[in-house]
Amino acid sequence: MKPTHVGLIPDGMRRWADAHNATLAESYLRGAQKVVALLLALRRNDVQTVSVYNLSRANLARPDAELDAVYGASIEFFTKLIPDHFDLDDCTVRLHGDRSLLPREYVSAAEALEAATNDGAFRINILAAYDAVDELRAAHARAQREECDIAAAFDIPDVDLVIRTTPEPLLSGFLPLQSQYAELVFLTTPLNDLHADYIDELIAKHRQFPQRRGR
């Protein structure tokens, strides 16, 4: 069965910068460009939703120089890379996380892209200043307010496949409830060296993955 929802944990940009004598800004911008290439490859493979882990809330404790590089690359992603490579009528971009903790320029760029994309077939979730406990609290409050089951109160659905671009076998807080039955793939190739065609191979392998979901 093909995956309908893929989680993407882009990683390895700091190490790539050190290995290639590049600045953090250069490395994270290259990473943003690679994420777009992976999104295009996933779209080509008929994936309907991709959730991209941009920043956890814990990541916000990193040095300002690194966060500035992440924010700069992300703003380029929102304002130029996505509009240049996708039909905005065919995709939906949504930001998930605590927007109050993010810079105004970042949030403004994300919200402008959200407004420009509405109910498109290809959904891109961006997780920034995201914390799973916050998400659970919000889902609990929504379930009480709407008198629905908490499983139906999450904005992001179950994930079929999670790809992390470093070999460390960690989810680092990425959508833990939605990923409970996902196939987890940890790559030895860092994001900035990953060829988008490799996505085709991963999707083909996933089709052979036993998807029993506990049964």
The verdict on residue 112 lying in a domain is yes
- CATH number of the CATH domain containing 88: 3.40.1180.10
Q: Give the integer Cα–Cα distance in Å for 121 and 25.
A: 32
130: three-class secondary structure by DSSP: strand
When divided into structural domains, the chain yields a total of 1
The verdict on residue 83 lying in a domain is yes
The verdict on residue 38 lying in a domain is yes
The verdict on residue 215 lying in a domain is no
Residues 12 and 190 sit within 8 Å (Cβ to Cβ): yes
pLDDT one-digit tens code per residue, 45-87: 999 999 999 999 999 999 999 999 999 999 999 999 999 999 9
The verdict on residue 13 lying in a domain is yes
Domain membership of residue 172 as a residue range = 5-207
pLDDT one-digit tens code per residue, 179-214: 999 999 999 999 999 999 999 999 999 988 766 565
Q: Give the integer Cα–Cα distance in Å for 161 and 78.
A: 24
Q: Give the integer Cα–Cα distance in Å for 165 and 103.
A: 26
pLDDT one-digit tens code per residue, 133-176: 999 999 999 999 999 999 889 999 999 999 999 999 999 999 99
Question: pTM of the entire structure?
Answer: 0.94
The secondary structure of 161-198 as a DSSP string is EEEESSSS---TTSSTTTTTT-EEEE-SS-GGG--TTH
Of 20, 48, 50, which Cα lies nearest the Cα of 38? 50
Within 10 Å of residue 140's Cβ, how many Cβ atoms?
12
Signed CA dihedral, 41, 43, 48, 49: sign only: positive
The verdict on residue 19 lying in a domain is yes
